[in-house]
Amino acid sequence: MNTPALSVVIPVYNEEQGLAALFARLYPALDALGIAYEVLFVNDGSRDRSAAILREQYQRRPDVTRVILLAGNFGQHMAILSAFAQCRGQRIVTLDADLQNPPEEIGRLLQKMDEGYDYVGGVRRQRQDVSWRRHASWMMNRIRERITHVVMTDQGCMLRAYSRDIIQAINHSQEANTFIPALAYTYARNPGEIEVAHEERAAGESKYSLYKLIRLNFDLVTGFSLMPLQIFSLVGVGLSLLSALFVIYLALRRILLGPEVDGVFTLFGILFFLIGVLLFGIGLLGEYIGRIYQQVRQRPRYLIDTILQSPDEQPPAAALLSRPETHS
Ligand code: UDP
Ligand code: MG
């Protein structure tokens, strides 16, 4: 099991209600592939019984299961990164824990990789989510398409397969906030896509609030493109030219027609519009400066509490020194 053909990475955050159903479908689907595999669950600081359930599952299938218990909630993408640093497979598949990505589709992703693709993204056929999320995500996909170089039909689908090379490149990048499917795309030599099924959440509720979704999309857009800033400065140039003309026009009127107060509200309207544009620009600057700030602090992106894995997975020295939490 030291270099299995496949590593499956699953982030888990407060998923106690759905985990049993996930195990019941995941393991048979992987066994059916007939290849050596490992499953890495990452508990992203769940506050429910998820960690205990993962521990039980590890005891049930220690041969193919590894569990990373993070020391807090670091977010889905950081959780996946922590597993990327630990996984050993030749190919790596990521998947959500809520069964929205059917594990039976993993085989099809691998088949597509056999055709020579080093990165295969899933595109959700008939996405089963609430309609505002479908529409917002459609719009974000289009915006991202325009302003980044990342080509993806469905950025929100986490059912994706990556080659070892891409994971290694990701492990070497030290970004503080990132969006894994887009990061992987920048390192892929031959990316492909296939349609995959999508199901309703098996149990529990979405871990993404509107706020978290907006944050995630800012990470995606500002992390992979400078264009928002560039567009903003272009808009700024255009607007300041227009307002310069407007000031000249007002000055001429003052000279030719004398003082006048009519149309003050129009003036206010224009002023408020300009202030709005300015505030948006400052906010946008803040997004980038915030990223720089997080980057220079160089805080660890996640903290691992424990890793549950069988002893032959441990580096030899460590295995001799201590064997807590291991089973043979
Ligand atoms: N998740 C996580 N940490 C978080 C939020 C989510 O590990 O802070 C996991 C979650 O358990 C699930 C996956 O990321 O396996 C996707 O989350 P969710 O299904 O809530 O997102 P949605 O499908 O609504 O986009
Ligand atoms: Mg989900």
Is residue 1 situated within a structural domain? no
Please indicate whether residue 98, judged by its CB atom, sits closer than 6 Å to ligand 1: yes
Domain count, the chain: 2
Side-chain-facing half-sphere of 244: CA atoms under 13 Å = 6
Please indicate whether residue 216, judged by its CB atom, sits closer than 6 Å to ligand 1: no
Neighbours of ion ligand 2 (CB under 5 A): 96, 98, 100
Please indicate whether residue 79, judged by its CB atom, sits closer than 6 Å to ligand 1: yes
Out of 8, 9, 13, 16, mutate this one to test ligand 1's pocket (max ligand atoms within 8 Å of CB): namely 13
Q: What is the CATH number of the domain that holds 215?
A: 3.90.550.10
Are 194 and 58 members of one domain? Answer: yes
Question: Model confidence over 13-67: pLDDT tens digits?
Answer: 999 999 999 999 999 999 999 999 999 999 999 999 999 999 999 999 999 999 9
Is residue 93 situated within a structural domain? yes
Quote the mean pLDDT of the chain: 89
Using the mean position of ligand 2's atoms as its centre, give its distance from the Cα of residue 171 in Å. Answer: 25
pLDDT(118) > 90: yes
Is residue 51 situated within a structural domain? yes
Radius of gyration, alpha carbons of the chain? 25
Is residue 106 situated within a structural domain? yes
Question: Model confidence over 162-211: pLDDT tens digits?
Answer: 999 999 999 999 888 889 999 999 999 999 999 999 999 988 999 999 88
C-alpha angle with apex 34: 98 to 319, nearest 5 degrees? 75
Question: Model confidence over 134-165: pLDDT tens digits?
Answer: 999 999 999 998 988 898 999 999 999 999 99
Q: How far is Cα 87 from Cα 81, in angstroms, rounded to an integer? A: 10
Please tell me the number of the ligand nearest to residue 95's CA. 1
What's the domain range around 62? 6-225+300-327
Please indicate whether residue 314, judged by its CB atom, sits closer than 6 Å to ligand 1: no
Question: Model confidence over 282-321: pLDDT tens digits?
Answer: 888 888 888 888 888 888 899 999 999 987 655 544 433 4
Return the pLDDT at 272: 83
Q: How far is Cα 313 from Cα 58, in angstroms, rounded to an integer? A: 14
Residue 193, beta-bridge partner list: 121
Please indicate whether residue 46, judged by its CB atom, sits closer than 6 Å to ligand 1: no
Return the pLDDT at 239: 84
pLDDT(129) > 70: yes
Please indicate whether residue 206, judged by its CB atom, sits closer than 6 Å to ligand 1: yes
73 Cβ contact partners less than 8 Å away, ≥ 6 residues apart: 13, 44, 45, 46
Q: How far is Cα 183 from Cα 78, in angstroms, rounded to an integer? A: 13
* Full-model pTM: 0.83
Are 169 and 20 members of one domain? Answer: yes
Question: Model confidence over 62-81: pLDDT tens digits?
Answer: 999 999 999 999 999 999 99
179 Cβ contact partners less than 8 Å away, ≥ 6 residues apart: 77, 155, 216, 219, 220, 223, 224
pLDDT(236) > 90: no
